[in-house]
Amino acid sequence: MGSVSKEAWIKIYKELQHAASRFPQYYYREFFKRRIRDHFGAAAAGDEQPGAEHYKKAEDLLTVLRRQATVSESYPSSKLVIEKEPPKSSN
Protein backbone atom coordinates (compact mmCIF):
# COMPACT_ATOMS: atom_id res chain seq x y z
CA MET A 1 0.00 0.00 0.00
CA GLY A 2 1.26 3.41 -0.88
CA SER A 3 1.41 6.27 1.53
CA VAL A 4 -0.69 9.38 1.04
CA SER A 5 0.95 12.76 1.62
CA LYS A 6 -0.22 15.15 4.30
CA GLU A 7 -1.01 17.75 1.63
CA ALA A 8 -3.34 15.30 -0.12
CA TRP A 9 -5.17 14.67 3.18
CA ILE A 10 -5.55 18.40 3.79
CA LYS A 11 -6.85 18.88 0.25
CA ILE A 12 -9.45 16.10 0.53
CA TYR A 13 -10.52 17.44 3.95
CA LYS A 14 -11.09 20.92 2.52
CA GLU A 15 -12.92 19.51 -0.50
CA LEU A 16 -15.18 17.43 1.77
CA GLN A 17 -15.96 20.46 3.94
CA HIS A 18 -16.72 22.53 0.84
CA ALA A 19 -18.99 19.83 -0.58
CA ALA A 20 -20.81 19.58 2.76
CA SER A 21 -21.31 23.35 2.88
CA ARG A 22 -23.18 23.19 -0.46
CA PHE A 23 -26.20 21.50 1.15
CA PRO A 24 -29.05 24.01 1.32
CA GLN A 25 -30.65 22.23 4.30
CA TYR A 26 -29.14 23.30 7.60
CA TYR A 27 -29.33 19.94 9.35
CA TYR A 28 -27.70 17.98 6.52
CA ARG A 29 -25.00 20.62 6.07
CA GLU A 30 -24.09 20.74 9.75
CA PHE A 31 -24.30 16.94 10.15
CA PHE A 32 -21.84 16.26 7.34
CA LYS A 33 -19.47 19.01 8.42
CA ARG A 34 -19.44 17.62 11.97
CA ARG A 35 -18.97 14.01 10.78
CA ILE A 36 -16.06 15.00 8.54
CA ARG A 37 -14.40 17.00 11.32
CA ASP A 38 -14.89 14.19 13.85
CA HIS A 39 -13.65 11.51 11.46
CA PHE A 40 -10.50 13.39 10.56
CA GLY A 41 -9.93 14.36 14.20
CA ALA A 42 -10.16 10.72 15.30
CA ALA A 43 -7.79 9.67 12.53
CA ALA A 44 -5.29 12.37 13.55
CA ALA A 45 -5.44 11.27 17.19
CA GLY A 46 -4.76 7.64 16.25
CA ASP A 47 -1.33 6.06 16.41
CA GLU A 48 -1.23 4.89 12.81
CA GLN A 49 -1.06 6.98 9.69
CA PRO A 50 -4.23 6.32 7.65
CA GLY A 51 -3.43 4.42 4.50
CA ALA A 52 -4.43 4.60 0.89
CA GLU A 53 -7.62 2.62 1.51
CA HIS A 54 -8.88 5.33 3.87
CA TYR A 55 -8.00 7.95 1.29
CA LYS A 56 -9.97 6.03 -1.34
CA LYS A 57 -12.99 5.95 1.01
CA ALA A 58 -12.66 9.71 1.50
CA GLU A 59 -12.63 10.23 -2.28
CA ASP A 60 -15.72 8.03 -2.63
CA LEU A 61 -17.45 10.03 0.11
CA LEU A 62 -16.55 13.25 -1.69
CA THR A 63 -18.22 11.94 -4.84
CA VAL A 64 -21.35 11.00 -2.90
CA LEU A 65 -21.49 14.36 -1.09
CA ARG A 66 -21.17 16.29 -4.34
CA ARG A 67 -23.90 14.24 -5.98
CA GLN A 68 -26.27 14.52 -3.02
CA ALA A 69 -25.67 18.26 -2.67
CA THR A 70 -26.58 18.69 -6.34
CA VAL A 71 -29.76 16.66 -5.85
CA SER A 72 -30.64 18.64 -2.71
CA GLU A 73 -30.15 21.92 -4.56
CA SER A 74 -32.73 20.74 -7.11
CA TYR A 75 -35.43 20.63 -4.44
CA PRO A 76 -35.50 23.99 -2.68
CA SER A 77 -36.61 24.20 0.92
CA SER A 78 -37.39 27.13 3.13
CA LYS A 79 -34.79 28.33 5.60
CA LEU A 80 -35.12 27.52 9.27
CA VAL A 81 -35.51 30.19 11.91
CA ILE A 82 -31.92 29.71 13.07
CA GLU A 83 -30.66 30.37 9.53
CA LYS A 84 -32.55 33.60 8.95
CA GLU A 85 -30.90 36.89 9.76
CA PRO A 86 -32.71 39.01 12.32
CA PRO A 87 -34.46 42.09 10.93
CA LYS A 88 -32.40 45.24 11.10
CA SER A 89 -33.72 47.95 13.34
CA SER A 90 -34.01 51.43 11.88
CA ASN A 91 -32.82 53.36 14.91
Domain ranges in the chain are 20-75
The pLDDT of residue 66 is: 94
Ramachandran sector of residue 32 (left: φ over 0; alpha: ψ -120 to 50; beta: rest): alpha
Cβ neighbour number for residue 32 with a 10 Å cutoff: 21
The pLDDT of residue 1 is: 44
**1-44: pLDDT as tens digits:** 468 888 999 999 999 999 999 998 889 999 999 999 998 888 77
Between the ranges 44-48, 51-55, 78-82, where is the mean pLDDT highest? 51-55
Asked whether residue 68 carries a pLDDT value surpassing 50, the answer given is yes
pLDDT tier, 73 (very low <50, low <70, confident <90, very high otherwise): confident
Cα–Cα distance for residue pair 91/87, rounded to 1 Å: 12
